[in-house]
Amino acid sequence: MPQIFDSATISRFEANGEQNFAAERPCIVDRTSIEIFPGQANYTLPNYVVSIRRITYRGWKLYPMPHRTLRQSFLSGTQQSRPFWYIFNNQAQATIQLFPVPVEHLTPVATAAGLWGSDLINKFVVEFYRLPDSSQGITIPIFMRRRLLKCYINKNCFRMEGKAQNLKASEYWSGKYESLKEIFVNLLDELNSKPRNIVASSMNQRPYGYTPPPPILPIDRFGISVDEPY
């Protein structure tokens, strides 16, 4: 039986469908280790990062903080110490800012296995959701990949102009794709989100976790102090 659609077209739609699903519902977890330099606050993440899950500095968790909060709380934001927050917006593309600014040099992890080992106590590690890369074997979860991408490929192949165009078939596969996508998205939410909500602390109910308090002026700026009563 002759093949209606060529392999290049099928591969193109397969890659597009996988990229779109991973961007719409992040589900591929990865880690990377970045070299830290003293006095340098801004660091660039890989371009396949979709969203950040966790950042650790020598094993200490860094909390996300919007750039507006940095301006309101710390003004210049050039203090140097062990980082406690990372600023995720108002930066260059795929760039985060550490605050306070690091004062030491940290080398990256030598091997991929080290990203999950005991050597993390001496490294800067970013855990994130990423886009797929089938050439490296990085794909969306295998239990749903074939069924989901089959519907996406058929939906787009039958929509193309030419002798094989079939809009009714495209509409059928489009509905099937949306139905399967909803099932898999709900399943991923069930697996990834609900267990964490059971043990979430009250601190995590705030929009950005722990945020710094507003700046406090020195005591001599508030008026005349008095002695404590006896």
Would you state the pLDDT for residue 151?
Answer: 95
CA of residue 145 relative to chain centroid, distance: 21
What are the extents of the domains in the chain? 7-25+139-197, 29-130
Q: What is the pLDDT of residues 166-223, one digit of tens each?
A: 899 999 999 999 999 999 999 888 877 665 555 545 554 555 556 666 667 665 655 5
Please, which pLDDT band fits residue 88 given cuts at 50, 70 and 90? confident
pTM exceeds 0.75 for this model? no
Which residues contact residue 58 at a Cβ distance below 8 angstroms, ignoring those fewer than 6 apart? 82, 106, 121, 122, 123, 124
Would you state the pLDDT for residue 131?
Answer: 93
Distances from the Cα of 6 to the Cα of 96, 134, 157, 173, angstroms: 42, 19, 10, 19
**Residue range 15-41: mean pLDDT, rounded:** 92
Res. 226: pLDDT tops 80: no
